[in-house]
Amino acid sequence: MSRAETLPIGMPSLSLFRSEVTTTFRRWRTLALLGVLAAVPVLVGIAVRIETSRGGGGGRGDGGGGGGPAFIGQVAGNGLFLVFASLAATLPFFLPMAIGVIAGDSVAGEASAGTLRYLLVAPAGRTRLLLAKFTTTVLFAFAATLVVAASALAVGALLFPVGEVTLISGTTVSFGEGLLRALAIAGVVALSLTGLAALGLFVSTLTNSGIAAMATTVGLLITVQILDQFPQLSAVQPYLFPHYWLGFADLLRDPVYWDQIARNLGLQALYVAVFGSAAWARFTSRDVTV
Amino acid sequence: MEGRSKPGPWPGAVGEGAVIETAALTKRYRGGQLAVDRLDLVVPRGSVFGFLGPNGSGKTTTIRMLMGLIEPTSGAARVLGQEMPRAGRRVLPRVGALIEGPALYGFLSGRDNLLRFDAADPTAAPRTRAARVGAALERVGLTSAAGKKARAYSLGMKQRLGLAAALLRPRELLVLDEPTNGLDPQGMREIRALVRGLAAEGTTVFLSSHLLDEIEQVCTHAAVMAQGRLLTQGTVRELAASARARLAVTTPDTADAVRVLKEHGVHDLTVTDDRVTGELPPVDLADLNAALVRADVRVRSFGTERASLEDAFVALTGEGFDVAG
C-alpha cells in the first residue's frame, strides 16, 4: 500500500483545519457577521461626533467615568478611545452573538446539510474534526474582535484627534503604548469568548439542526447575561461566563490590575475544559443518522 | 492498483476473500425499533454486490454501521479485514462511499467541495490533491461544471459529484447507497457504466438498491433484506435459479399444445396469446418436442426460460417488491 498519495497514519496534517477555516470564512454569513461588527464602531463614532459638535465644547471628557468602562466620554478627546468604547459596546451582545452563530452551527450545520457523514467517512476522525471546529471558532472570535478594533481605530482616527492616552488611573502614556494596550485588550476580549465557543460547540453536538443549535446558544447567552444582572444571584454570578467580561478595562490602569482579568481567563479555561469534554464525549459516541 | 492482488495487511483474518463480513450484526434504535436483526453478510473481494431490499428494510442502517457512523447494538462487522468502527482510521481511506445521496456545500464550487472532502482525509497527500480532484471530476464528466457553485447543480450532477468524492483516491471498496436514486434513465445508464468500469478495474462494489433490474444488470452477487433480516445471499445466477425455470412453447396451436404437454406430465400450464408455459417436466425435452411435432402442433419456439431475480424475490418474500417493510 505504498502509494504516492498515501501518507503514514498519525502524521499531523493541518489540511482539515485549513479547509475548515477557509470554508468558514468564505461563507456569506460569516462575512455578514463581520460586516455588522465593523459597522458598530462607525455608528458609535458618528453618534459621538454629532453629539460633541452639538454640545460645542467636546474637550477632555473626564465626566465619562460614571458608568463603568464605557469610555464614550473620552472618545471625542482621543480617537483611540473609540476602540475601547466599541469593544465595551459589542462585548455584551454583538460579539458573543456572532460567536454563538458560528459555534452553534459548527457541527449541527454539517449534520443538517448531510456533509457530516461524508467528513466522517473521509475519514476526518471525530476528535480531529471537533478540534478543527473549536479552533476555527476561536480563530473567528479573534478575527471578529480585531475587526471591531480595527474599524474603531480607523473611524476614531478619521473623526477625532489622536494622541497621548490618559489612563483610568490618571497617568498619561504615549499613543504607541496606548495602541499596544488596545491590542492587548482585543486579545483579552477574544479569549473572553472561548468559554462561549466551547458551550456553543457542545450545544452543536446535541442536535442535527444548525438553526436550533445557533438559537439555543444565543438564547443561553441572553439568559446568562440577564441572570448576571440580578443581585439576588450574586452567589452563582462568579461562575457565569460573562461575569468578568468587562474587566478588560483594568488593562487601562497603571499599574495594570490583573485580578479580574486572571479570573476571567481562568473561568473561560474552566468552561472550555468542561464543555469541550462534554462535546467530545457526546460527539465521539453518537450515532450519525443524518 | 498493484495493492489489490496482495492479501493485505491483516494476516490470519477470517474470510481471506471477504471485503465485508458481518457476524450477527444488530442495530436496535433508542425507540426500540429493530432496524437490523442478526445480519450475517459476506461480500467477496472483486464482486459487484447488490444489496437489495425495499425502502426501510435496514440497508442504510447496515451501511452506516459498516462505515462507522452508527455503533452496532451487538454483533461485529469487518471491512477490508478489520473491525469497524474501531479501525475506521485505517479502513476508511481505502473505501469510497456514497451514503443516502450526495451532500454538498452549496456555497462552494464543485471543485472546492471535493478539495474539502479530500482535506478531511488525513492520509491524503496535499501535494497531489489538486491533480486527484481534477481526475475525479474528469471521471464523472463534471470538468466543465467544476467551477459552478454546487447549489446550482442538477440532482444528477450532485449525484455525480458525490461519486467523484468517492473516487478521489484509488479505492479497494466502493459503497454506493442507491446511486441512481432520482436520476433520469440516461443518468442511470451513465452511473451503471461507471460502476461496471470500476469493477473491471478490480474495485469491489457494494451497491444498495431497491431496483431489481438494476441489480440484475450490474451485479455478480446479491443479498436480499426485508424488515431488518437477511433473506438470502449468493451469486445473482444462483438466486435467479432458485426460482424454478419454466418450459415455454410458442405455437399458433395452443389448445393442442396444452393437451399434448398435459399428457406428458407438464403441470401448471398457462396460455398467453401464442405462448404456453408450464413447470419443467422430469422427461427429456427433446422427446417432448418430438411428441408435439408428431401431434401436428406447429412449434415456433421451444425452450426453457430463466427466472428473473424478481421471480426469486417474490418466491422469497411471497410479496411484491415495492412493499415497504
pLDDT score of A64 more than 70? no
pLDDT score of A9 more than 60? no
What's the pLDDT score for residue A7?
53
Average pLDDT over residues A146-158: 95
N-terminal to C-terminal alpha carbon distance within chain B? 40
Q: How far is CA B94 from CA A23, B53, B100, in A?
A: 25, 26, 20
Averages of pLDDT over runs of 10 residues in chain B (325 residues) are 39 63 93 91 93 86 94 94 90 93 94 95 91 94 94 91 93 92 83 89 91 84 90 84 77 89 84 84 84 90 76 65 45
Nearest residue of A to residue B163, measured between CA atoms: A118
| Joined grid coordinates for residue B84 | 469497524
B contacts of A128 (beta carbons < 8 Å): 122
Residue count (chain A)? 290
| Joined grid coordinates for residue A134 | 473549536
pLDDT score of A196 more than 90? yes
Q: How far is CA B10 from CA A123, B79, B85, B91, B92, in A?
A: 20, 11, 16, 11, 15
CA dihedral (B168, B172, B176, B180) positive or negative: positive
Contact B264, B295 (CB under 8 A): no
Q: Where are the domains of chain A?
A: 15-285
Q: Which of B64, B103, B122 sits opposite A16 (nearest CB)?
A: B122
- Helix (H), strand (E), coil (C) string for chain B: CHHHHCCCCCCCCCCCCEEEEEEEEEEECCCCCEEEEEECCEEECCCEEEEECCCCCCHHHHHHHHCCCCCCCEEEEEECCEEECCCHHHHHHHEEEECCCCCCCCCCEHHHHHHHHHHCCCCECHHHHHHHHHHHHHHCCCHHHCCCEHHHCCHHHHHHHHHHHHCCCCCCEEEEECCCCCCCHHHHHHHHHHHHHHHHCCCEEEEEECCHHHHHHHCCEEEEEECCEEEEEEEHHHHHHHCCCEEEEECCCHHHHHHHHHHCCCCCCEEECCEEEEECCCCCHHHHHHHHHHCCCCCCEEEEECCCHHHHHHHHHCCCCCCCC
CA dihedral (A98, A101, A107, A109) positive or negative: negative
Average pLDDT over residues A143-162: 94
Grade residue A279 by pLDDT with cuts at 50, 70 and 90. Answer: very high
Pairing of strands B246-250, B275-279: antiparallel
Pairing of strands B204-209, B48-52: parallel
Grade residue A6 by pLDDT with cuts at 50, 70 and 90. Answer: low
Contact B115, B133 (CB under 8 A): yes
Q: Where are the domains of chain B?
A: 14-241, 244-310
What's the pLDDT score for residue A14?
85
What's the pLDDT score for residue A53?
76
Region B244-310: CATH code: 3.30.70.100
What's the pLDDT score for residue A60?
42
**Residue of A177, A106, A113, A181 whose CA lies nearest to A141:** A106
> In whole angstroms, what is the distance from residue A126 CA to residue A120 CA?
7
Pairing of strands B95-98, B173-177: parallel
What's the pLDDT score for residue B178?
87
CB contact under 8 A, B68 and A120: yes
Which stretches of chain A sit within 8 Å of chain B by CB?
Answer: 1, 3-9, 11, 13, 15-16, 18-19, 23, 26-28, 113-115, 117-125, 128-129, 285, 287-289
Nearest residue of B to residue A109, measured between CA atoms: B105
Grade residue A83 by pLDDT with cuts at 50, 70 and 90. Answer: very high
CB-count exposure of residue B227 (10 Å: 0-12, 13-18, 19+): middle
CB contact under 8 A, B126 and A13: yes
Residue contacts between A and B (CB atoms, under 8 Å): 119
What's the pLDDT score for residue A75?
86
> In whole angstroms, what is the distance from residue A47 CA to residue A51 CA?
6
Mutation target vs B (from A121, A127, A286, A289; most B CBs, 10 A cutoff): A121
> In whole angstroms, what is the distance from residue B207 CA to residue A84 CA?
60
CB contact under 8 A, A123 and B107: no
pLDDT in tens, A219-274: 999 999 999 999 888 899 999 999 999 889 889 888 888 999 999 999 999 999 99
> In whole angstroms, what is the distance from residue A167 CA to residue A259 CA?
18
> In whole angstroms, what is the distance from residue A185 CA to residue A145 CA?
10
| Joined grid coordinates for residue B296 | 401436428
> In whole angstroms, what is the distance from residue A86 CA to residue A182 CA?
11
CB-count exposure of residue B267 (10 Å: 0-12, 13-18, 19+): exposed
Choose which CATH entry (3.40.50.300, 2.60.40.420, 3.30.450.30, 3.30.70.360) describes domain B14-241.
Answer: 3.40.50.300
CB contact under 8 A, A124 and B122: yes
Q: Which of A9, A23, A27 sits opposite B123 (nearest CB)?
A: A9
Angle value at C-alpha A74, between A73 and A79, nearest 5 degrees: 125
Nearest residue of A to residue B116, measured between CA atoms: A19
Distance from CA of A39 to the nearest CA of B (A): 25
Contact B136, B165 (CB under 8 A): yes
Q: Which residue has the cell 411484491?
A: B320
CB contact under 8 A, B120 and A129: yes
CA-based radius of gyration for chain A: 21
